[in-house]
Chains A and B, each alone.
Chain A
Amino acid sequence: DIQMTQSPSSVSASVGDRVTITCRASQSIGNWLAWYQQKPGKAPKLLISAASNLQSGVPSRFSGSGSGRYFTLSISNLQPEDFATYYCQQANAFRGITFGQGTRLEIK
Chain B
Amino acid sequence: QVQLQESGPGLVKPSQTLSLTCTVSGGSINSGGYYWSWIRQHPEKGLEWIGYIYYSGRIYYNPSLKSRLTISVGTSENQFSLKLTSVTTADTAVYYCARDGVGRDGNNFYFDYWGQGILVTVSS
Contact = CB atoms under 8 A, between A and B. Distances in A.
Nearest to B48: A99
Nearest to A55: B112
Interface residues of B, number: 24
Nearest to B63: A96
B116 A94 contact: no
Contacts of B98: 43
Contacts of B112: 46, 55
Interface string A67-97: 0000000000000000000010101111011
Given A93-B52, A99-B49, A44 B111 contact: yes
B47 A87 contact: yes
A16 to B, nearest CB: 29
Contacts of A93: 52, 60, 106-109
B114 A44 contact: yes
Interface in A7-49: 32, 34, 36, 42-46, 49
Interface of B: 45-49, 52, 60, 62-63, 96, 98, 102-103, 106-112, 114-117
30 contacts: A1-B63, A34-B110, A34-B111, A36-B111, A43-B96, A43-B114, A43-B115, A43-B116, A43-B117, A44-B111, A45-B114, A46-B111, A49-B102, A49-B103, A49-B110, A55-B112, A91-B103, A91-B108, A91-B109, A91-B110, A92-B107, A93-B107, A93-B109, A97-B49, A97-B62, A98-B49, A99-B46, A99-B47, A99-B48, A99-B49
Interface of A: 1, 32, 34, 36, 42-46, 49-50, 53, 55, 87, 89, 91-94, 96-102
